[in-house]
Structure 1
Amino acid sequence: MPLLSVEHLTVTFNPDSRPVPAVTGVDLHVDAGETLAVVGESGSGKTVTALSVLGLTPRPPACRTTGTIRLGDTDLTSLDARGWRSVRGRRVAMVFQDPSTALNPLLTLGTQIADAIRAHEPVGRAAARERALAALELARLPQPGTRLEQYPHQLSGGMRQRAAIALALAAGPQLLIADEPTTALDVAVQAEILDMLDTLRRDLGMGLILITHDLGTVATHADRVAVMYAGRVVETGPTGQVLGDPRMPYTRALLAATPRLDAPARQRLVAIGGHPPDLAVAAPGCAFAPRCPVALDVCRDERPALRPHAPDQLAACHHPEAPLPGPVAAEHDPTSAGEPTGEPVAEFDEVVLHYPVRRGLLRRVVDRVRAVDGVSLRLWPGRTLALVGESGSGKTSLTRTLLRLERPTGGTVSYSGIDVTRPDREQLRRLQREVQVVFQNPYASLDPRMTVAQILAEPLRVHRLDASRTELVRLLEQVGLDAAALDRHPAAFSGGQRQRIAIARALGPRPRLIVCDEAVSALDVSIQAQVLNLLADLQREHDLSYLFITHDLAVVRSVAHDIAVMRHGRIVEHGPAERIYGSPTHEYTRLLLEMAPGHPTQAPSGRTAAWSR
């Protein structure tokens, strides 16, 4: 008997007014010790399905849930509030995408984890504290004894995610749901956390549902995969079969849109045209038909059922053998090779940034953190410089000196001849318009009290630019959203949609330089391809420069002209992207490439063909 069995799950929001079927007829199962990956675009129903398993969807009349969810021999859909409290955390737990929202900022880690244990088991505080320490050790958090007394804000992003995993594991659940657990983490921490989850799954016999948009992660860490689109499962089966020989055009389109480490440098990605359907509008036929390049009349008139096409592989397609059009060859980019020309857009010259460490009653400076330690770089017109490295390597600290969010301890930072640390009034105004930034976390970078129209119009009005509704609609269309988004607030959008709004806001003032701090890490692969292609098009049209900070080396491969690898506040390797990917000279650079998910040299048992095709 499967550990988890989901049959005919349907989740409908606003069932009595304007019904929105977020999930329709979903069937899934997970065995003990197995990893099931659930993939699909934002709004496909992945997270709503996971929340249904936890009983966290809204109660009637706001939401109606039908179907059967069984965990072992327990029918979860029949539980009342008290029954859910006994199951949630004890038998099934969840690791959310943003650990900052999952951890209470007012409580130490030890208190939070001990409280979670005592909520399910009649143990004393001392015993619960010992269990909390064991959970932190299980999650491989360094110095777990010290971490018990720390608050979430005192940990790095990777450590916070480990603490969130420890919190989820504290009561010994049979099933763990991980919703984008490594989206914002660098490749080293990402590899450590995914390997840790694999080990815990094997050692504890725990079932794992991995919700992700990273198909490289799916290829190397999942036993089976379920592809969702418009609230339905459209293809499912063993990972090697589904990714190695996909039968649903949507699955093939996702694979084609995914950046690859072994692809040619700066190759244009194959984006999926159109937009996901409005689930509130019932339509006959296959939901993917309006975007499918091989759709026939039958696809638009009749919805296909999930049917077997190979051993254990199901796909919902009327003609799964139809070949998709091949990728369009990328146009020649004259800036992709050779030496840069012209004057640098921005320069870092021996930049040093030290943070004081204060201790004692008088808060005396006893040491300094060398966040940036003598970095020299140049950004050239019409080129993309990718800054890569682990968390804490100094990437963001260096960038903050260009954005005037930090004053360097030493060295100089200049933009187009302007000393960034001492601009006059006119130079400051020019800096604020011509240098824009897209931050990593769209939840924190968008004002929740403002509508999208207000968010987009604010910088335009500040710089006396066109802020008409027509211009705002044009900005949204550039990033794959429509005019209906203008009158809504950020809370009405998924994480990926919020990031697209943030990118549209950065494009509004028509900048010369855009700093992209993990700008596409929250996007699913189809929207990521659209945005990366858009950034490339804008770069060619307007001679834009990009400073691209990311942990995703496959994305770097598709966008960067030059790469600078940072470690411990210093540049350890710098040069043209083709040279660094083809023959890296520093051991640290080689290590980062080897740890990247879906790297061609990786050979997990039974899954190599899925990613090396």
Structure 2
Amino acid sequence: MTTLIEIRNLGIAYGGQTGWTDVVEEVSFEIARGETFGLVGESGCGKSTVAYRLLGYGSPNSRVQTGQVLFEGQDLLTLDAKALADMRGNRIALIPQNPTTALSPGMRVGQQIREMILTHRALPNGISMVDRIRELFALVGLPDVSRRYPHELSGGQQQRVTIAMAVACNPDLLVLDEPTTGLDVTTQRQIIQLLSDLRSRIGMAMLYVTHDLALLAQIADRVGVMYAGKLVEVARCGTLLSHPAHPYSSGLIASIPSTLPGHNGARGLRGVLRRDQISSGCKFEPRCDHATATCRSIPQALVAVGDAQSVACMHWSDVAVKQLPISSNVVAIRSKQESEALLSLDKLSLSYSRTGWLAGMFGNAPVPIVRDIDLELRAGEVVALVGESGSGKSTIARAISGRLAPASGTINLDGRPLSPTLAGRTVQQLREMQYIFQNPDASLNPRRSVRAILERPLKHFGIEFTPETLVAALENVGMHADYLDRFPEQLSGGQRQRIAIARALLVNPKLLICDEILSALDVSVQAKIVELLLSLKEQHSVAMLFISHDLAVVRQLADRVAVLYRGELMQMVDTDALDSSPLHPYTEMLLRATPGLRKDHYVPRPAAMPNSQPIPGKGCPLAGRCPRQVGTICAERRPIPQMTQAGFIRCHIPVAELAQGVQLSVGE
């Protein structure tokens, strides 16, 4: 294949009060036309820094020390601002991690795509602008949403709009920066299918930056693994995932949780990246179980070790033989005690009121979001709340935390009713219940140092502390004291999330509400956070409502799983019984969509009766989409919960018949 873009010996440094620090060193790789190249590594390894240089982007305090970025033979690092502007969006396009910040909130999405096309004069001959925009929406699987604003679309729809913008000018190269982080598993799979389809139809090459190796297995041709600013391994995707040659690659893969039975623990990487501990030789030496004295003094460079596989390790041949040690002795012990409920929801229903122009168009009657939720959570128990975006998971969490008053029903803590709003709750209740938000960019004060962020809740609740208290809090989430005097903007997304988690844990809560807290973290850090949460659960009986779309992580951490769809609980099941208990058709859909480390050619199962829609408030919310729908009863009548040995299922199909469903084969 013809090489489209080549990165040669790229070196990038960031400047600060103490001078310049190298963050990317001697990175070299190429991408052929029509090829997808994955770039993976832990937060802070430099993968996004490399990716954005392909578009000529760099922060004001960064500089290119060495190297070239050759696009069709032209060095992008030598182009002026106008030439780069002509290139971006036209020949090389970006799909960012967060579509909410990438789309202008004050412009309709159709206008934003129109602006992209006009900027690069990329309207094909013989087609109108309106038709071209509709064509792009159809290309990404959307109806014509031209007149909608970004806030009127779901997260998955927003990401599809950014993809439509990125491909509007038929670019030769797409740079994707964690494009599916935070999306539920079914939406992730739809985006991956969409990108694969676009690549085959348009012939684009892709640089896919991610920490999700399971998703990368479904789309990448080759993968480069980065550690501390250097490439340590490059190989075909299948080769890397089945036979990694570098100890770091092996550790990353071993950290990935699985949905397979019996895979409740992970063999992970020990320690964390400490740039102050990096030796003059191999950068991974302080964390490597294969390291010898020579590793500390002799730098490692990529050398070919097989067909299209290169590795920067003198002991690469030992990696496949030796097994990494278990990262922790902590094992998920499922809570079986029948103690009093710490938190209970009784017939909880929630709604949002229409405001502004929506109220003028549709009236101001409340819009029901969540309906008749009964849920109990005991001390030391972890209940996972899973479901797709828009199912109501975060809305329930908002109500429990006092940020949304219930339309009906009650919320009890320690057997006492909670005030529906924060203003009516006691200081003790506020301390005992801590919320960890999904997006640390919005939950951390950008004008406060990490030290001040951690000190604030301690001072607010009158808890005595010492400097060692803050250091210990950071070490619990895989960070160290050097971060105390940094500001959020000086941290990676994963590092910011760890600060948010550390802040919540500092006040010793009884209940943690964890709202997608692992979605922005790489797999090695996820493993450490899961280990920490399990330790809190076992040693301090901390209860958790764990909101997630990652069923592999849920299998590791949760005692019970509550499956939510369009505001209704479809199933409650013990985690250990997921493989033996009857499954609701929707639970089965979620499990099937969870990717594994082999390319599985996943295709969503079609609905049995696509024209049968549920009657609001009466029918099953899954009607019209359910592959096992029964006549019209599903659309017209709300199913009654059926008890099982491991919980309940809300479905018209008898439990015995559900138990005879197709056997799942997921997470392989």
Match of 1:471 in 2: 469
Q: Distance in 1 between matches of 2:327 and 2:465?
A: 37
Q: Distance in 1 between matches of 2:427 and 2:461?
A: 8
Contact 1:452–1:489 (Cα < 8 Å) also in 2: yes
CA gap 1:282/1:16 in 2 versus in 1, 3 angstroms = farther
CA drift at 1:76: 1.6
Match of 1:10 in 2: 11
Query: Could you give the per-residue CA deviations for residues 190-220 of structure 1, whole angstroms, max 9, x where no partner exists?
Result: 1101110110011100001111111111222
Q: Distance in 2 between matches of 1:534 and 1:541?
A: 10
Match of 1:67 in 2: 67
Query: Could you give the per-residue CA deviations for residues 578-608 of structure 1, whole angstroms, max 9, x where no partner exists?
Result: 1124444211111100101117793689xxx
Contact 1:456–1:472 (Cα < 8 Å) also in 2: yes
Of all paired residues, the percent bearing the same amino acid is 37
Give the secondary structure class of the aligned counterpart of 2:19: coil
Q: Distance in 1 between matches of 2:71 and 2:313?
A: 30
Superposed, which structure 2 residues align to 1:193-342 within 5 Å?
Answer: 193-264=191-262, 267-278=264-275, 283-322=279-318, 323-328=321-326, 335-336=333-334, 339-342=336-339
Contact 2:594–2:667 (Cα < 8 Å) also in 1: no
Match of 2:24 in 1: 23
CA drift at 1:408: 1.0
Query: Could you give the per-residue CA deviations for residues 319-372 of structure 1, whole angstroms, max 9, x where no partner exists?
Result: 1122444443976868516x4321011001111112244667867736543211
Match of 1:80 in 2: 80
Query: Could you give the per-residue CA deviations for residues 359-396 of structure 1, whole angstroms, max 9, x where no partner exists?
Result: 67867736543211111111111111000001111111
Q: Distance in 2 between matches of 1:555 and 1:37?
A: 23
Equivalent position amino acid for 2:139 in 1: L
CA drift at 1:148: 1.1
CA gap 1:475/1:118 in 2 versus in 1, 3 angstroms = same
CA gap 1:257/1:335 in 2 versus in 1, 3 angstroms = closer
Q: Distance in 2 between matches of 1:65 and 1:384?
A: 49
Query: Could you give the per-residue CA deviations for residues 42-81 of structure 1, whole angstroms, max 9, x where no partner exists?
Result: 111100110111100146x841243121222433222111
CA drift at 1:277: 3.6
Give the secondary structure class of the aligned counterpart of 1:217: helix
Q: Distance in 1 between matches of 2:538 and 2:290?
A: 31
Q: Distance in 2 between matches of 1:331 and 1:282?
A: 27
1:117 counterpart = 2:117: yes
CA drift at 1:282: 7.0
Superposed, which structure 2 residues align to 1:175-190 within 5 Å?
Answer: 175-190=173-188
Contact 1:594–1:601 (Cα < 8 Å) also in 2: no
Match of 2:389 in 1: 391
Equivalent position amino acid for 1:76 in 2: L
* Equivalent of residue 556 in structure 1, options 554, 558, 581: 554
Compare relative contact order (CA 8 Å, sep 6+) and give the higher one, 1 or 2: 1
Query: Could you give the per-residue CA deviations for residues 247-269 of structure 1, whole angstroms, max 9, x where no partner exists?
Result: 1000000011111111526x333
CA drift at 1:134: 2.4
Query: Could you give the per-residue CA deviations for residues 156-195 of structure 1, whole angstroms, max 9, x where no partner exists?
Result: 1111111111121112111001111111000111110111
Q: Distance in 2 between matches of 1:20 and 1:329?
A: 31
Match of 1:608 in 2: none
Match of 2:93 in 1: 93
Give the secondary structure class of the aligned counterpart of 1:574: strand
CA gap 1:541/1:602 in 2 versus in 1, 3 angstroms = same
Give the secondary structure class of the aligned counterpart of 1:107: coil
Q: Distance in 1 between matches of 2:95 and 2:493?
A: 16
Q: Distance in 1 between matches of 2:359 and 2:365?
A: 15
CA drift at 1:107: 1.4
CA gap 1:334/1:468 in 2 versus in 1, 3 angstroms = closer
CA drift at 1:140: 1.7
CA drift at 1:526: 0.9
Q: Distance in 2 between matches of 1:367 and 1:392?
A: 20
1:530 counterpart = 2:528: yes
Equivalent position amino acid for 1:352 in 2: S
CA gap 1:482/1:328 in 2 versus in 1, 3 angstroms = closer
Equivalent position amino acid for 2:7 in 1: V
TM-score by length of 2: 0.85
Contact 1:293–1:325 (Cα < 8 Å) also in 2: no
Q: Distance in 2 between matches of 1:330 and 1:14?
A: 37
Give the secondary structure class of the aligned counterpart of 1:198: helix
CA drift at 1:577: 0.5
CA gap 1:417/1:321 in 2 versus in 1, 3 angstroms = same
CA drift at 1:123: 5.8
Match of 2:342 in 1: 345
Q: Distance in 2 between matches of 1:175 and 1:4?
A: 9
Q: Distance in 2 between matches of 1:344 and 1:324?
A: 46
Match of 2:368 in 1: 370
Contact 1:539–1:545 (Cα < 8 Å) also in 2: yes
Equivalent position amino acid for 2:99 in 1: P
Superposed, which structure 2 residues align to 1:160-171 within 5 Å?
Answer: 160-171=158-169
Q: Distance in 1 between matches of 2:111 and 2:324?
A: 55
Q: Considering only aligned residues, what root-mean-square deviation do their CA atoms show, in Å?
A: 2.6
CA gap 1:83/1:582 in 2 versus in 1, 3 angstroms = farther
Match of 2:650 in 1: none
Contact 2:213–2:597 (Cα < 8 Å) also in 1: no
Contact 2:390–2:566 (Cα < 8 Å) also in 1: yes
Tell me, which stretches of 5 or more residues in structure 1 are unaligned?
606-610
Q: Distance in 2 between matches of 1:554 and 1:262?
A: 8
Equivalent position amino acid for 2:21 in 1: V
Match of 1:140 in 2: 141
Equivalent position amino acid for 2:500 in 1: A
Query: Could you give the per-residue CA deviations for residues 377-427 of structure 1, whole angstroms, max 9, x where no partner exists?
Result: 111111110000011111111111110111111111111122123699995
Q: Distance in 2 between matches of 1:334 and 1:238?
A: 34
Contact 1:33–1:205 (Cα < 8 Å) also in 2: yes
CA gap 1:123/1:242 in 2 versus in 1, 3 angstroms = closer
Q: Distance in 2 between matches of 1:535 and 1:572?
A: 26
Between stretches 339-348 and 496-505, larger displacement belongs to 339-348
Q: Distance in 1 between matches of 2:32 and 2:477?
A: 39
Match of 1:406 in 2: 404
Give the secondary structure class of the aligned counterpart of 2:97: coil
Contact 1:437–1:515 (Cα < 8 Å) also in 2: yes
Q: Distance in 2 between matches of 1:568 and 1:114?
A: 33
Contact 1:536–1:559 (Cα < 8 Å) also in 2: yes
Equivalent position amino acid for 2:352 in 1: Y
CA gap 1:32/1:460 in 2 versus in 1, 3 angstroms = same
Between stretches 23-32 and 364-373, larger displacement belongs to 364-373
Equivalent position amino acid for 1:347 in 2: S
Q: Distance in 2 between matches of 1:43 and 1:194?
A: 25
Contact 1:271–1:527 (Cα < 8 Å) also in 2: no
Q: Distance in 1 between matches of 2:505 and 2:59?
A: 36
